[in-house]
Amino acid sequence: MKKKEVQALRLEFDGISENEAFSRQVISLFAASLDPTLEEISDLRVVISEAVTNCVVHAYKNKGGKIKIHARIFDDRTMKIKIQDFGCGIADIEKCMEPLYTTDPSGERGGMGFAIMQAMSRKFRVTSRPGIGTTLYIEFKFA
Ligand SMILES: Nc1ncnc2c1ncn2[C@@H]1O[C@H](COP(=O)(O)OP(=O)(O)O)[C@@H](O)[C@H]1O
Ligand SMILES: [Mg+2]
């Protein structure tokens, strides 16, 4: 049987570091109806943080720009989250998804964001076009 969408949320906000915590809180609250375990909510928060941070620092180089999140909860207790930026885009997605790979010159980032997001979610997919932007499709399953 096809799963049915039971709740949906659309967010659009500026890609500045102040909004990392904000978006993480909003998505955590949205997930509250699923009565998540501490581990589930913690994983969700980490994934949102990593994704939004990438938009802020990589896509928009800390200069700001639009971020859109579309989150949906289904009757089989899955949550699908789409996170979209309109920044610089990624030329080589496979390379960027390798653990420890980073283009950050400061040495502050560990290059583990994508690896962490992939490990903590049930499904994880990236599409991107240089100069157009990047979209993440992430799926969680709640117990
Ligand atoms: N939204 C994005 N827009 C453009 N480039 C991105 C985006 N997200 C990730 N990247 C690229 O992928 C690389 C790896 O990302 P990640 O695994 O999160 O590691 P880190 O953020 O520590 O560099 C980044 O260094 C960056 O080059
Ligand atoms: Mg990162």
Atom of ligand 1 nearest to the CA of 113: 18
Distance in angstroms (rounded) separating the CA atoms of residues 71 and 76? 15
Domain tally, the chain: 1
The answer for 78, left when phi > 0, alpha when psi is -120 to 50, beta otherwise, is beta
Does residue 2 sit within a domain?
no
Does residue 18 sit within a domain?
yes
**Whole-angstrom distance between the N-terminal and C-terminal Cα of the chain?**
19
Would you state the pLDDT for residue 107?
75
Looking at residue 125, which CATH number applies to its domain?
Answer: 3.30.565.10
pTM score, two decimals? Answer: 0.96
Does residue 64 sit within a domain?
yes
Q: Which of 136, 141, 142, 111 is closest to 124 using CA atoms? A: 136
- Atom 24 of ligand 1, nearest CA residue: 102
- Regions of the chain with pLDDT less than 50: none
Does residue 3 sit within a domain?
no
Does residue 133 sit within a domain?
yes
- Atom 1 of ligand 1, nearest CA residue: 55
Does residue 22 sit within a domain?
yes
**Would you say the CB of residue 36 lies under 6 angstroms from ligand 1?**
no
pLDDT digits 0-9 by tens, 105-131: 887 789 999 999 999 999 999 999 999
**Would you say the CB of residue 40 lies under 6 angstroms from ligand 1?**
no
Would you state the pLDDT for residue 13?
98
pLDDT digits 0-9 by tens, 40-53: 999 999 999 999 99
Would you state the pLDDT for residue 1?
82
Does residue 36 sit within a domain?
yes
List, in order, residues 6 or more apart from 125 with CB less than 8 Å away.
136, 137, 138
Task: Provide the domain limits for residue 19.
Answer: 8-141
